[in-house]
């Protein structure tokens, strides 16, 4: 059994379960996406009643994604720090887009925003993006906010001492602008760390899965890549 076969088997149930939960949340939110009257509600009580339903649906989806993230860590051993730039999902799992309205708000622009059809549709689109990522095992895809993240990395790289050349590939590293090569029958990888911009030294691999972007170095540590091998980028 290859690492691809093993990962697909291990992830099969968590992926199916999470997609089903996302479908439920998307369907519940979609019911409100065609309700134009939602934008003309005046009563704060009624607004909060609607927002409560939107909150429950959106939180249901976030909980499903959060549980999958835990499953990902359990299966792969790849654990992300809260300070890491690169996440498994593109949306923030610890905050809700919808919240109840204070009875006497000082500013009500947020009320109008949350109860606008465009805001609800945007929330649905974000969940659909994560669903698509899961259904295609696309964890090696670049984040949707990659341009902003790469700009931060480039700023960090400018602050790295010229004497600091490269670091070893370690457990849970995420690589970008990577290159896979072969020395005889030995598979090797090098690249840049997607969380601090450091250059990763050429490292020997025991396993690598192109579908998920997950690999294992000879020492046994797991890592993952995002984007494409730089030799395949035009």
pLDDT tens, 52-88?
899 999 999 999 999 999 999 888 888 777 778 888 8
Q: Mean pLDDT lowest for which of 106-110, 167-171, 181-185? A: 106-110
Q: Mean pLDDT lowest for which of 25-29, 144-148, 209-213? A: 209-213
Mean pLDDT calculated for residue range 6-22: 90
Measured between alpha carbons, how far is residue 178 from residues 12, 140, 164, 192 in Å?
28, 12, 19, 6
Mean pLDDT calculated for residue range 142-148: 89
Strand stretches in 100-221, DSSP E = 174-183, 186-193, 199-209, 214-217
According to the model, what pLDDT value does residue 165 have? 77
Measured between alpha carbons, how far is residue 58 from residues 25, 42, 97, 141 in Å?
6, 23, 8, 24
107 has pLDDT over 50: no
Percent of the chain with pLDDT over 70: 91
According to the model, what pLDDT value does residue 3 have? 66
- d(Cα 204, Cα 206) in Å, to the nearest integer? 7
In contact, 230 and 178? CB cutoff 8 Å: yes
102 has pLDDT over 70: no
Whole-structure pTM value? 0.81
């Amino acid at each position: 059994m290859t690492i691809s076969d093993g990962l697909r088997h291990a992830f099969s149930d968590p992926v199916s379960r999470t997609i089903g939960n996302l479908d439920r949340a998307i369907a519940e939110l979609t019911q409100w996406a065609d309700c134009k009257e939602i934008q003309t509600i005046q009563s704060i009580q009624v607004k909060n009643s609607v927002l409560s339903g939107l909150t429950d649906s959106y939180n249901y989806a976030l909980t499903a994604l959060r549980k999958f993230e835990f499953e990902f860590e359990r299966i792969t051993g790849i654990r992300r720090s809260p300070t890491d730039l690169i996440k498994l999902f593109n949306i923030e799992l610890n905050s809700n887009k919808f919240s109840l309205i204070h009875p006497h708000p000082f500013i009500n622009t947020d009320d109008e925003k949350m109860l606008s059809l465009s805001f609800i549709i945007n929330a649905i689109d974000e969940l659909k993006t994560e669903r698509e990522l899961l259904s295609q095992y696309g964890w090696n895809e670049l984040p949707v906010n990659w341009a902003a993240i790469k700009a931060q990395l480039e700023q960090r790289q400018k602050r790295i001492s010229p004497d600091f050349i490269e670091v070893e590939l370690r457990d849970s590293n995420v690589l970008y602008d990577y290159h896979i090569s072969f020395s005889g029958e030995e598979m090797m990888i090098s690249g840049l760390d997607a969380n601090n911009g450091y250059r990763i030294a050429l490292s020997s691999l025991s396993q690598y899965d192109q579908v998920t972007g997950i690999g294992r170095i000879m020492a046994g540590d797991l890592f993952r890549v995002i984007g494409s091998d730089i030799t395949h980028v035009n």
